[in-house]
Amino acid sequence: VLIRTTGLWGSSFSRALTGKTPKIGKTFFAAFKILLKNLIFFAPRRKVTVECEQASGDFPWKGSRLEINQYLEQWYNRGGPEPLKLVSYSSWKEELPKIYQKPEAEKVAYEAIPESVRQAVLGEVAEVAGRTPDKILHTQDLALDLGLDSLDQAQLSLFLKESYGVTNVAQTELTTVESVMVFAAHLKKGETNDEEELVKEKAWQEGEGRPHVHPPEGKTVIEAFLNSTFRMDGYLACADAISGEVPYKKLRLGAILFADAIKRLPGERIGIMLPASVAVNVLIFATMLAGKVPVMINWTLGERNLKAVVDKSGIQTTISSWSFLNKLENVELNGVDNQIVLIEDIRRELGLRQKIKAMRLARKSPQAILQKFGLSNVAEDDPAVILFTSGTENLPKGVQLSHRNILYNQRGAFEYVSLCDKDVLLGVLPPFHSFGFSITSIWPILIGLRVAFLPNPTDGRRMAKGIEKWEVTMVCSAPTFLKNLIRVATPDQFKTVKLVVSGAEKAPQELFDQVAELNPSSVVIEGYGITECAPVLTINPPNKKRKGVGMVLPNVELLVVHPETYEPKPLGEDGLILARGPNIFHGYLDPTIQSPFLEVGGKNWYQTGDIGSLDEEGYLTLSGRLKRFVKIGGEMISLVAIEETLLEAALSKGWKIDPELPSLAVTAVEGEGKKSQIYLFTIFPVTVEEINQTLKEKGMSNIVKIAAVEQQPFIPLLGTGKTDYRALSEKLNRGEKNA
């Protein structure tokens, strides 16, 4: 059935009045005032026609997307352009709205666009349109001539951002192939958006006497949350560009209000799919308060992995936001798309009675609130959250962390980091990331530390502006994201940052050097953690020397053993790292997954899967993942060491590496009864002979040889910022490697 709506052109819900897509909330509010002004019943009416027509026999059911889009374009335009219809805002007099007059665009000569930009854009448009570059003309209309839809235009917007650093380009501004070229050549700029304008406002408007930060108090996460909100009360908890600055008491009220709605949703586990924000934290605590377990959904996993997450967790509902989903570009949500409930819809259904009820309950004590929701008997070892591993090597595994796991880990981290009541944390890591969930999302709220959220950890410019706007003193992120930030931040923007915490992957020396150059008073500390460990195991204390990935947290034990015999290794020798402590989870969600625990010396230990060594002072140094080692000729070869050696040689060899993103990746194929083969993926041209000669020059063992090199446009990344080695291994296993 084909559906066509006419009669809305010229209304407040069209682009006729502003030239932009209208904001729903603001437009509804303005319309409501017009209704009141006209005593509701006397308001002028607009005639709107909705036509439903059964698709005729000439509909291209088996046609390409281009053919279908062109057919629909012709069908929608049948009868000619829709005439402009203005309706008076008043029934007592003619009060017509003003029509947006688009300013005459600056004419840019096609000749001013560099040839390299023209060819790159032609190639990208051709790929999106499913044509060859020679069939694309700069004068062609993206929609009418090439049949591109809004998703295709979103892909072109992403291309402009990633390839040319062009942001804030509205899809409506991409009309022709030449318009894409103009933006790519920086001959025209996009409009700034509301979030950027908010950076100009002064941050953290609150009085003096803010209570000091304090370790989480309570036996469960939700109890610690309530205790923190009552201790901090009217002082500010968190902020973002959408919610503004939110005090603790408002955070508590929001959690209670949404908990009542979440309690009625099906299932004992609730999926949550949102970026770092005030809203996602409200939903996390609301879900816990409702007596359910939040399952943090990684929207970057892809269809296969998302279906596995839904299947293993058993979730029936995933809460997200239309404003977030509308901004996702080139993301496949098959697997959860049929169970999404929008936070906007939940909010819309909250009536006055529910709000008054929540306000009354929010004034009661933490224990009274817990009792009201039936949570008085929740135990420390009951599940608090379900996170899924990143799927670097296999399908994502469900990790069920208890309240005890999370709180012990957060208390240990608190002891190692010196904070004061004036500090501000920047939260950018997505909450599906263990570091993002535990440390940059809920930890600051539980200890009374102000936190400013930004939704995109890859947007270094927005992060730099956020640091300046919110006067951030502490930044926690992964090295890949931190490098994006450091590259674009100015010393003036970074002047408030005292502490940079790097986790999730090994921090390169250049990160420490770049931060020192940007702000000599900033301290960079590196930590080590795993999702199954809630997540932090070690931290380099800011007031002590930096070595490896730091010292073990209080209440945590580490043991280094031989990876095959499990015999303890002497200090200073590499081996498999084992961990035990109250922050370690009890097992995977899927009972068919082999237990990661083993007994050594009469104690139960978790196998981290990482290789490293401990020294006499208790510092841990990592060598890599066990799965990032390959045995050749009886010797354990580190694939990470090969990567680092080649990167160190890149400058002297003249290899063009990307300063922000991975430029190479090494993986291996191990076959039954066959010699293991090592393969190299790069973004720059290089031969096998040149690579192996370089490894030899750098002192690598003679048995370390690369079997083949494949150049590709980019090295794939996971949503956490780590290299997606599984995707590369699958490519090798499909036999797509170059000989």
What's the whole-model pTM score?
0.66
User: Could you tell me the mean pLDDT of each successive run of 10 residues in the chain, 739 residues long?
Assistant: 82 75 76 84 86 84 70 76 81 80 62 86 84 86 74 74 69 82 80 44 73 95 97 94 92 96 95 96 98 93 83 94 79 83 90 92 96 94 91 73 96 88 93 92 96 90 91 90 87 93 81 91 90 92 84 92 89 92 92 89 91 90 72 66 87 85 84 70 92 85 83 81 78 59
Residue 318: phi, psi to the nearest 5?
-125, 120
**Residue whose C-alpha is closest to residue 447's, from 406, 495, 496, 508:** 406
Query: In terms of CATH architecture, what is 543-625?
Result: Roll (2.30)
142 token code pair: 């993206």
In this prediction, residue 625 carries a pLDDT of 67
In this prediction, residue 195 carries a pLDDT of 42
In this prediction, residue 439 carries a pLDDT of 93
The Cα 120–Cα 328 span in angstroms is 24
Tell me how far CA of residue 318 lies from CA of 13, 310, 534, 580, in angstroms. 29, 9, 23, 33
CATH code for the structural domain at 633-733 = 3.30.300.30
Query: Residue 578 in 3-state DSSP?
Result: strand
With 0-12 CB in 10 A as exposed, 13-18 as middle and 19+ as buried, what is 92? exposed
The Cα 286–Cα 84 span in angstroms is 46
Query: Residue 166 in 3-state DSSP?
Result: coil
End-to-end CA distance of the chain: 51
Reported in sequence order, the residue ranges of 7-108 that DSSP labels E, i.e. its strands, are 49-53
In this prediction, residue 194 carries a pLDDT of 43
Which of the following CATH numbers is that of domain 110-191: 1.10.1200.10, 3.40.50.150, 1.10.10.60, 1.20.1730.10?
Answer: 1.10.1200.10
Q: What is the DSSP string of 468-481?
A: HHHT--EEEE-HHH
Cβ atoms 584, 602 nearer than 8 A: no
The domains of the chain are located at: 2-76, 110-191, 543-625, 633-733
Cβ atoms 603, 575 nearer than 8 A: no
